[in-house]
Amino acid sequence: MNSSPFTFESFLSGSCKAIRSSFLREILDIAGMSGIISFAGGLPNPDLFPVSQIRIALDQVMSDGGKSTLQYSGSQGYLPLREWIAGRYYKRFGIKVAPDNILITNGSQQALDLAGKLFLDPGDCILMEKPSYIGAIQAFSAYDIKMEQISLEHDGISITELKEKCRRCNPKFLYGIPNYQNPSGISYSEGKRLLLAEWLRTKKLPFIEDDPYSEIYFTKTNGIPVSFLLPEQCILTGSFSKMISPGIRTGWMLVPDKLKSYLLKAKQAADLHTNNIVQQLIYRFLVDNDVDMHLDRIRIHYHQQKETMLMLARHFLPQRTRFTNPDGGMFIWATLPDEFDTTELVKYAISEKVIFVPGKTFYVNGEGNHSMRLNFTSSSPDEMEDGMKRLRQAINLYMEHMKVKV
């Protein structure tokens, strides 16, 4: 008689086993502990959440049609909300978008998973930026594929390296974040967008353009999405998480005509439809409030927070540390001298009750040991200063124990 305990391990699918763990999700548990100052999560500032306006919008939604709001709805999403998104693109870029080409998703994270369902088979290859968004690495890893990363230059992805990597494999698509990239904060220049669109057209390669930070700019608006330069072979994602709040978990995909039916089937198989109440709540908030005034408030506040963190980081982090200085978004990318391994440094940081995300997390091949991502949106100036002092103490301890001299 077999007396060994039952285990699910032998029954799990290969794709389930292939999913990478998320260091960020694990470290957020630490971030919630009392006394911890976190530069880790990509958390919007809760003081800027429109709490009272959301409460009013919800009351209005339930008063106007509570019974229908509580019912199942269509898989593509609430039509008035899709029309608002289409109108926003026209207002910002002068590009007409059909609401019928927009699919509402449970955050832009689901959009990445749906793209994986749409394109990927085990053993396939995809291209992405280096470094790249943790959530995308985790989402695509579920499909048991090979991920090749392309270096970021000061003005966006390296076209030379892109061409070289493309010759090595037959990629299914390129994934990228042209605006205030997560984690680096880098934005593609107008010239780089044009070059990329032309190369994609020549190569006939799909592009998954992730654009969650587009509305969070500081000094000037960002460039036109690559998807509008090449609409027939791009998917553009967007999110209300940074515009309103992440708790609403609502995003969208703008897709070409030829993909609509396939994406709808993938969406139906995943969850039938995105939360109906939340979709209507978002729409009510958007039409009943001055969205641009709300976003201007966020932009001004985040710009000030970025300047504060950059000043403090330059003062407290080691000499020869290099920083990005983003024109929007939520993150600063810091590259410490080669003597430092941030995967080890974070252990000392946690002991000093401050956390960040080590750079290695944003790579698929073990690079990034000297880098870290710092979130500047969720901490007050006093918390930033206290956190940077704690980080300096962690660095001192690391240097002492690891015999590092800089």
Could you give the CA distance from residue 143 to residue 94 in angstroms, rounded to a whole number? 37
Contact 149, 363 (CB under 8 A): yes
The pLDDT assigned to 398 comes to 96
Nearest residue to 366 via CA among 339, 342, 391 = 342
What are the structural domains, with CATH classification, of the chain? 17-49+293-402 (3.90.1150.10), 67-288 (3.40.640.10)
CA dihedral (156, 327, 131, 308) positive or negative: positive
How much is the pLDDT for 186?
A: 97
Cβ atoms of 340 and 358 within 8 Å: the answer is no
Across residues 360-365, what is the average pLDDT?
95
Tokens of residue 241, six digits: 């998480």
Residue with tokens 């969406």: 267
Q: Where are the alpha helices (DSSP H) in 51-210?
A: 51-69, 79-93, 107-119, 134-141, 159-168, 190-203
Maximal C-alpha separation, the chain: 72
Say how far apart CA 260 and CA 114 lie, in whole Å: 12
pLDDT of residue 25: 61
Is the per-residue pLDDT at 353 higher than 90?
yes
DSSP 379: S
Residue 222 confidence (pLDDT): 85
Q: Is the dihedral of CA 372, 376, 379, 385 positive or negative?
A: positive
- Distance of alpha carbon 309 from alpha carbon 375, whole angstroms: 9
Strands 234-239 and 251-254: antiparallel
Quick one: CA torsion of 274, 278, 280, 282, rounded to 10 degrees? -120
Closest CA to 221 of 128, 115, 295: 295
Give yes or no for residue 26 having a pLDDT over 80.
no
pLDDT, one tens digit per residue, over 128-166 is 999 999 999 999 999 999 999 999 999 999 999 999 999
CA angle 351, 19, 133 (to 5 degrees): 65
Is residue 17 very low, low, confident or very high in pLDDT (cuts 50, 70, 90)?
confident
The string of DSSP letters for 16-53 reads HHHPPP-HHHHHHHHHTSTT-EES-S-PPPGGGS-HHH
227 pLDDT exceeds 70? yes
Task: Label residue 29 by pLDDT band (50, 70, 90).
Answer: low
Of 226, 217, 215, 168, nearest to 192 (Cα)?
A: 226
pLDDT at 2 over 70: no
Q: What is the mean pLDDT of residues 254-262?
A: 96
**HSE-up of 352 (CA within 13 Å, CB side)?**
21
3-state secondary structure at position 371 = strand
Which pLDDT band holds residue 21 (cuts at 50, 70, 90)? low
- Band (405; pLDDT cuts 50, 70, 90): confident
